[in-house]
Chain A
Amino acid sequence: MTMDLERALRAGAGFDAPVPEVWPAAEAAGLLDVAYATLDSPVGELLLAATPRGLVCVGYDGEDALSRLAARVSPRVLSAPRKLDPVRRELDEYFAGRRRRFDFQLDWALARGEFGRRVLKATAQVPFGSVASYRSVAEAAGSPRAVRAAGNALGGNPLPIVVPCHRIVRTGGALGGYTGGLERKLKLLALEGAL
């Protein structure tokens, strides 16, 4: 009898109602610091995260990106796919070859340091389909000799694709590195007809 009762209690029949979404109420209460969603793309699944100020992260490694956001922006991180719909739509258009620039706001919270931010902002000016050198980006960021530092800043780009660090190549024409691996860099440049 004891075991039967406990077994019946454990079975807990009838309890598996759908669990309601939390993020809409969290947003209404001003507690949705970071909203995220994923997007399937030709360069793999992307993690997209936004703060109330704008898109803050595009991640090739979703789990790593979420930990970074929790540690450096806010631990109040919630999956909220609909919040990212406008961003997802623009990225889909970009991958389909129907968009050359993005119109949504950006949040630079994950950019490291003043110089790093300037490098990323300079990179954001390089237009679709063209490439620029690390040296020219360093120059545009105000430190023509800090070529290596510019490379590091791009390696830590929290907003790849959107801040097009794939368009930055070596002066001699070699590709240089890429935060998501060289294969992705090639794919993005090919998609833009820059190769």
Chain B
Amino acid sequence: MPLTVSHGRGRVRSIAVSLPPFQALLDAHGRDVHRFLVATVGRVDADDCFQETWLAALRAYPRLRDTSNLRAWVMKVAHSKAMDHLRARQRAPVAVAEVFEGAAVDARRDLDTPDGVWERVAELPSKQRAAVALRFLVDAGYPEIAAAMETSEDAARRNVHEGLKRLRKELA
């Protein structure tokens, strides 16, 4: 997308904000997004969230100006879709306690990991779950987690640490 910026003396210079072909994002970050979504919403719903994430990203892409961290940008979209999804699940006409328990049980069953750790992550509160998934499954640093979850870096760090603390207690 060329951006036209006019300078003095009537000169017009074109500054190219060059966006990579969208497929490059999908190739580079598709697997990370999918893993993140499996960890946050469970395997059954991950595919729907995955489509919603990439369609939203594709829709917004031509207007994107800051291309310095494209993975963080896509992860932000994925995180927001995952949270929408979890909220919608909570709004389902079932008693709240049941929903929480039910969501956790669903996610746990979906994950089906041999070591059981991620089954426990699925039971964490959604912010801790997302932060732990970003930190360990996608290998994101705290600035990237903060960007993806639209929180401060402190909050990102806190979410990861609280999540780990809880996991340790449960696995002890």
Chain A: residues with CB nearer than 8 A to chain B? 1-2, 5-6, 8-17, 19-20, 22, 25-26, 29, 31, 34, 36, 66-67, 69-71, 74-79
Asked if A15 contacts B35 (CB within 8 A), the reply is yes
CB contacts (< 8 Å) of A69 on chain B: these are 21
Asked, given contacts A6-B136, A9-B118, A76-B22, whether A15 binds B54 with beta carbons under 8 Å apart, the answer is no
Q: Name the one of B39, B47, B59, B136 contacting A20, with C-beta atoms under 8 angstroms.
A: B47
Which of these binds chain A: B12-20, B85-93, B95-103, B144-152? B12-20
On chain B, the number of residues with a Cβ less than 8 Å from chain A's Cβ atoms is 46
Q: What secondary structure prevails in chain A residues at the interface with B? A: mixed
Q: What secondary structure prevails in chain B residues at the interface with A? A: helix
**Interface 0/1 of B24-57, CB less than 8 Å to A:** 1010001100110011000100110011001100
Chain B: residues with CB nearer than 8 A to chain A? 1-2, 16, 18-24, 26, 30-31, 34-35, 38-39, 43, 46-47, 50-51, 54-55, 58-59, 61-62, 111-115, 117-118, 121, 132, 135-137, 139, 164, 167-168, 171-172
Chain B's closest residue to A25 (CB) is B51
- 13 contacting pairs across A/B (C-beta < 8 A): A15-B38, A19-B31, A22-B30, A22-B54, A22-B55, A31-B59, A70-B18, A71-B19, A75-B21, A76-B58, A76-B61, A77-B22, A78-B26
CB contacts (< 8 Å) of A1 on chain B: these are 168, 172
Tell me, in angstroms, the Cα distance from A22 to B24 when the chains sit together: 13
Asked if A29 contacts B55 (CB within 8 A), the reply is yes
Chain A's closest residue to B115 (CB) is A8
8 additional contacts (CB under 8 A) given A10-B136, A17-B38, A70-B21: A2-B168, A17-B43, A19-B31, A66-B21, A66-B23, A69-B21, A71-B2, A79-B26
CB contacts (< 8 Å) of B112 on chain A: these are 14
